[in-house]
Amino acid sequence: MKTAIAIAAAGLMSLGNASIALAAGYHLEPPGNFKGDGKTSATKNGISLPCIAHFTGRVTATGVGYVTGGTFTDNGSIGCTSVKLTNLPWKSVAVAATKAKIFNVTFTSPIGNCGPGVVPVTVRSGAIRFTAVPLKGGCSVNGNIVTTPKLSIVKNTE
């Protein structure tokens, strides 16, 4: 739900291994641990659950990202604290100068189970954004996650 949260991981996770990230021509940086905080929402059967997401993750030395955890707090609705991320870690890979994909995004929530699915995200100036991304289970997710340190996508030099 807020997963895509990506974000923050999402902003920033991946599809394969380091060779896939390098083959894409781009990678995430800086390497090391990151946090991502921001607004997210999940919608299922016409019911939306807006929440504040708090993600944790890491970027490997080869530029592959992983969302390793996440919690949620209420943002105008009740139930966010019961959202649970599953299938962790979610892998992420940069696929273009400002685009990444987060894989196997799955979570449980008061409005139902969502995922797994691939969440395409935009990464700019440390912000990970995704809008109306459909997931299995009849869900759709949105998010605007700010990462610390600021994650970015850079072109491979090799």
Report in angstroms the alpha-carbon separations of 63 from 18, 75, 80, 106, 122.
7, 32, 31, 22, 16
Kind and range of the H or E element at 153? strand 152-155
pLDDT of residue 44: 96
Q: For each of the chain's 158 residues, which pLDDT tens digit applies?
A: 333 333 333 333 333 334 444 455 999 999 999 999 999 999 999 999 999 999 999 999 999 999 999 999 987 778 999 999 999 999 999 999 999 999 999 999 999 999 999 999 999 999 999 999 999 999 999 999 999 999 999 999 86
| pLDDT given for residue 17 in this prediction | 38
DSSP 22-56: HHTTEEEES-EEEEEEEEEEEEETTEEEEEEEEEE
pLDDT at residue 75, rounded to an integer? 79
pLDDT at 24: 56
| Domains assigned to the chain | 4-155 (2.40.160)
55, 9 Cβ separation under 8 angstroms: yes
